[in-house]
Structure 1
Amino acid sequence: MTTLNFSQLDNLFRNDDFPSIENDTRGIRFLKLRSMSRNETMREFCHLHNIDINHLQVRQYFSHLFNFEYITDEQINNFIIQKYNQEREIRRLNEESLVDQLSRLQHFDWGGSFGNSLEKNIVNNYVKRIQSFDRINEEIEGSLLSSLRGYTLNSWYNHWTSILIEDLFKDHTNVLPTVGLVKKIDFFINNIPFDLKVTYFPEQLLAQKLQARGYGNELTRLKRVCRQLNIFIPNDLKDKQLKLHLYNKVSEDPRDEARLFITDLKHHKREIISEAEENPEELKVWFYENQGEARFDASNRFFLVLTDEADLTNSWKLKRNIVFLREKINEHLNNIILDIERLNTEFYWAKNQRTYNCKSDILFIKQTENI
């Protein structure tokens, strides 16, 4: 193992080189202090342990504590747990009410915005394309308002469900939380830092796997069965919207041909997801290599993959099913054995043509059909 100074470790952190940090004798100490590096938190910790920092500038607090040899890892851990419990108690009092509010969202629809980039959508599809004052006002009151509402509601839902799910992990005795919101680290498991990513099985990869199985294109198959059953196919929807629309229509059709089609499609998707669960390396690498460029990093990640096997399009609802999630997450953490070899992940980022190494874990949580 190496023994690096503060500046060297800080540089490694900024360059997403977590393996080198974890291989250092004081690397985990650096990351734990980094997770509590807000100024007021640092001042509170120093006051608690009678550490004089009056002569220091604010930006020197972190490095000073890191190099303060009389502070032990146990003291750092105990303070982090204490601070987390204080913050958690406030959230716990409001948890039932928050879950109730989140349960009022009936449809998870971005409202036509492209991805999560509302500003890019507005500039490219309204500002730069429309010259008429009257028409752009009509669009603001119509499709743009719908886009804004969908973007805001979905972002609101994702934000608060992510906090709820993070708390489910941090509440467990095998997990050391962080203090406040810290980029790249949400918690430590067996002294390994992880950034939690709550997600679903990616549609793009699912489509590729269906093709590889010889199933073909899902939308093409849906159109074919609709023609066979004389189900109307509209021509005013984009492919993604059309696929969901036709899937719902076929799902609701009582005829045997429709039922067999949906049963067969679900069977293929379940098998693909089960295969990924048994051999998750490909999926973990896929998540890293297909992350958004604006938020790219190569930090250690814990992927929580949520799946409603009755209807994949409803998987988003699992994020607010706290009782179910708590049971499954605790079951996993109660029996967790972090095999370092299994966690080691290598991926290639095409944008800068660089290979990264990190650690990642994955937990699939599935809700099966009611029988």
Structure 2
Amino acid sequence: MTNLNFAELDSCFRNDDFPSIENDNRGIRFLKLRSMSRRETMEEFCSLHNIDLSELPSRQYFSHIFELPNITNENIDSFINQKYQEERQIRIANEDYLVDQLSRLQYFDWGGSFGNSLEKNIVDNYVKKIQSYERINDEIEGSLLTSLRGYTLNSWYNHWTTILIEDLFKDHANVLPTVGLVKKIDFFINNIPFDLKVTYFPEQLLAQKLRDRGFGNELTKLKQVCRTLNIFIPNDLTDKELRLHLYNKVSEDQRDIARQFILNLKELKREIISEAEANPTELKVWLYENQGEARFDASNRFFLVLTDETDITNSWKLKRNIVFLRQKINEHLDTITLDLARLNTEFYWRKTQQTFNCKSDILFIKQTE
């Protein structure tokens, strides 16, 4: 363990060097205080502990409190929990309304991918490609409006469900929340900082595992079944849209060939996900190595992987099933033991040709009926 001073820890934080902070004797103290470093919050904390700030500019509050020997880690934890409870009461009063509103979303459809930049997509695919005034107006009223609506609704849904799920973790006695927003940290478990990532089993990895098992390409197999059963195959959809469309058509078909195909496919996917749950290292590394370039980081992550085994395409609905999620998350946190050997994660980032080390945990929540 190192003994860095405040300026050195602050430099590490600004340079995203979280391993150096975690490996310092006062690193976790620094991160906890960093989460409550807003002026008003610091002043409230100091008032509670009779700390005189009258001679200090507000920009020095953080470093001043950090160095005070009479301010214990217990003092900091107690204050953080108190502030969280105050904020939480406001959200609890609104929780039923929010869940009801989120339940009104019937289809999780991005309407075409905008990637990380709405402006870039519009400029590249509409502004620079279309010369006709009439056509660009038609596109605005048609495909662009559809895509914008899908992108906005899905982003809205992901934002608010993530807040609800974060609270499920922060409500637990084994979890210390953050007070304010602090980059790459949502909460601490046993004094280990984590950034919560709510996700699903990756389609790309699932497709790879299906091929490894000799199943082949899912879309190709669906087309074969459709041809055998004389089910119409349209030609105006993308591969992803067509796969989902044909899957739904085959799922609804009651003939033995269709029913057996769907049963076999579901069972293969269940086996793949169960194997990942039993040995999650590969999946954790995959999630780090395949994150979006624009939002890349090597922070500690707690991956929450949601799967509806009755219909994997409906896994997104689990994000608003708060009663079910609370039960499963609490069961995990009630008995959690953070073994560093299990948490240590090493991954390679191809864009910079660097190897990174961090800590990560993972919890699979599966709906089976």
Q: Normalising by the residue count of structure 2, what TM-score does the alignment of the two structures yield?
A: 0.97
Which residue of structure 1 aligns with residue 27 of structure 2? Answer: 27
The secondary structure found in structure 2 opposite 1:179 is: strand
Q: CA deviation at 1:58?
A: 3.1
The secondary structure found in structure 2 opposite 1:180 is: strand
Contact 2:195/2:302, CA 8 A, preserved across alignment: yes
Which residue of structure 2 aligns with residue 50 of structure 1? Answer: 50
The secondary structure found in structure 1 opposite 2:181 is: coil
Contact 1:307/1:365, CA 8 A, preserved across alignment: yes
Which residue of structure 2 aligns with residue 224 of structure 1? Answer: 224
Q: Deviations over 1:291-321 (max 9, x none)?
A: 1111111111000000000011100000000
Q: Deviations over 1:229-263 (max 9, x none)?
A: 11111111111111111111111111111101111
Which residue of structure 1 aligns with residue 267 of structure 2? Answer: 267
Q: CA deviation at 1:50?
A: 2.3
Which residue of structure 2 aligns with residue 163 of structure 1? Answer: 163
The CA RMSD over aligned residues, in Å, is 1.2
Distance in 1 (alpha carbons) for counterparts of 2:116 and 2:103: 22
Which residue of structure 1 aligns with residue 296 of structure 2? Answer: 296
2:358 is equivalent to residue 332 of structure 1:
no
Distance in 2 (alpha carbons) for counterparts of 1:205 and 1:298: 20
Larger deviation: 123-132 or 109-118? 109-118
Which residue of structure 2 aligns with residue 86 of structure 1? Answer: 86
The secondary structure found in structure 1 opposite 2:346 is: strand
The secondary structure found in structure 1 opposite 2:182 is: coil
2:355 is equivalent to residue 355 of structure 1:
yes
Contact 1:184/1:194, CA 8 A, preserved across alignment: yes
Contact 2:116/2:294, CA 8 A, preserved across alignment: no
2:7 is equivalent to residue 7 of structure 1:
yes
Q: CA deviation at 1:273?
A: 0.4
Q: Deviations over 1:9-33 (max 9, x none)?
A: 1222233332321221101101111
Larger deviation: 122-131 or 319-328? 122-131
Letter in 2 for 1:66: F
2:132 is equivalent to residue 145 of structure 1:
no
Larger deviation: 133-142 or 302-311? 133-142
Which residue of structure 1 aligns with residue 251 of structure 2? Answer: 251
Q: Deviations over 1:259-298 (max 9, x none)?
A: 0111111111111101100000010011111111111111
Distance in 2 (alpha carbons) for counterparts of 1:28 and 1:202: 32
Distance in 1 (alpha carbons) for counterparts of 2:211 and 2:117: 29
Q: CA deviation at 1:60?
A: 2.3
Letter in 1 for 2:304: L
The secondary structure found in structure 1 opposite 2:345 is: strand
Letter in 2 for 1:170: K
Distance in 2 (alpha carbons) for counterparts of 1:362 and 1:14: 27
Distance in 2 (alpha carbons) for counterparts of 1:258 and 1:115: 35
Query: Within 5 Å, which residues of 2 pair with 1:57-68?
Result: 57-68=57-68
Letter in 2 for 1:196: L
Letter in 1 for 2:333: L
Which residue of structure 2 aligns with residue 114 of structure 1? Answer: 114
Contact 2:349/2:355, CA 8 A, preserved across alignment: yes
Q: CA deviation at 1:116?
A: 4.8
The secondary structure found in structure 1 opposite 2:157 is: helix
Query: Within 5 Å, which residues of 2 pair with 1:122-201?
Result: 122-201=122-201
The secondary structure found in structure 2 opposite 1:348 is: strand
Q: CA deviation at 1:4?
A: 0.3
Alpha-carbon spacing, 1:14–1:285, altered in 2? closer, same or farther (3 Å): farther
Which residue of structure 1 aligns with residue 321 of structure 2? Answer: 321
Distance in 2 (alpha carbons) for counterparts of 1:353 and 1:52: 49
The secondary structure found in structure 2 opposite 1:37 is: coil
Where structure 2 has 5 or more consecutive residues not aligned to the other structure, the ranges are none
Where structure 1 has 5 or more consecutive residues not aligned to the other structure, the ranges are none
Distance in 2 (alpha carbons) for counterparts of 1:321 and 1:216: 33
Contact 1:306/1:366, CA 8 A, preserved across alignment: yes
The secondary structure found in structure 1 opposite 2:297 is: coil
Distance in 1 (alpha carbons) for counterparts of 2:97 and 2:348: 43
The secondary structure found in structure 1 opposite 2:45 is: helix
Q: CA deviation at 1:222?
A: 0.7
Contact 2:276/2:282, CA 8 A, preserved across alignment: yes
Q: Deviations over 1:52-82 (max 9, x none)?
A: 3333333322222212222111110011000
